[in-house]
């Protein structure tokens, strides 16, 4: 069974943190789905991922193209067809306990300056840990990422 990692963003913007986590996930050999709720967000991330990291390239694509199944990183609002081993949720996109159990890791990134996003992340934490999912809460408030809470699941 996989784990859910919650990333409370208070310093670095979403695009920077996402690019870093995607790079590390690709190095681990994972196929990744980035799930958002709106086309506007996915378009913004698509544009930014072409620019980051400055010293490399993050291969990715938007869902709806002819090569979705082959994308190492697929930006989508729905179920991913690239057979992901890692799911990243942005802008409060839903994640189920069943999905976590099928993944090596699920990451929930949320804006710590947006009260609604924080509340949504709290609800996701409660729902997933209540369903027995192992979860870790990470904060960058001190200037570096630190694990602040952990739930071992059922």
Give residue-wise pLDDT tens across range 69-99. Answer: 999 999 999 999 999 999 999 999 999 999 9
Phi, psi of 8 (to 5 degrees): -90, 105
What's the confidence (pLDDT) of residue 51?
80
Q: Determine the Cα–Cα distance for residues 112 and 121; give it in Å rounded to an integer.
A: 10
Reported as a pLDDT band with limits 50, 70 and 90, residue 57 is confident
CB within 8 Å of 25: residues ≥ 6 apart: 32, 86, 105
Domain ranges of the chain: 3-151
Q: Identify the CATH homologous superfamily for domain 3-151.
A: DNA polymerase III subunit chi (3.40.50.10110)
The encoded tokens of residue 53 equal 């990291």
Q: Is 36 exposed, middle or buried (0-12, 13-18, 19+ CB in 10 A)?
A: buried
Q: Is 8 in a helix, a strand, or coil?
A: strand
Largest CA distance in the chain: 43
User: Which percentage of the chain shows pLDDT scores above 70?
Assistant: 96
The pTM (predicted TM-score) of the whole model is 0.95
Cα atoms in the 13 Å half-sphere on the side-chain side of 104: 12
């Amino acid at each position: 069974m996989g784990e859910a990692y919650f990333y409370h963003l208070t310093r670095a913007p979403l695009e920077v943190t996402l690019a870093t986590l995607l790079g590390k996930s690709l190095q681990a050999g994972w196929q990744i789905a980035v799930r958002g709720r709106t086309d506007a967000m996915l378009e913004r991330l698509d544009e930014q991922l072409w620019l980051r990291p400055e010293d490399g390239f993050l291969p990715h694509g938007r869902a709806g193209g002819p090569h979705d199944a082959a994308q190492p990183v697929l930006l989508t609002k729905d179920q991913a067809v690239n057979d992901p081993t890692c799911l990243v949720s942005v802008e409060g996109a839903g994640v189920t306990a069943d999905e976590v159990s099928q993944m090596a890791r699920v990451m929930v990134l949320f804006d710590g300056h947006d009260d609604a996003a924080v509340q949504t992340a709290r609800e996701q934490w409660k729902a997933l840990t209540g369903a027995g999912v192992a979860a870790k809460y990470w904060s960058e408030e001190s200037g570096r990422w630190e694990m602040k809470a952990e739930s071992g699941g059922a």
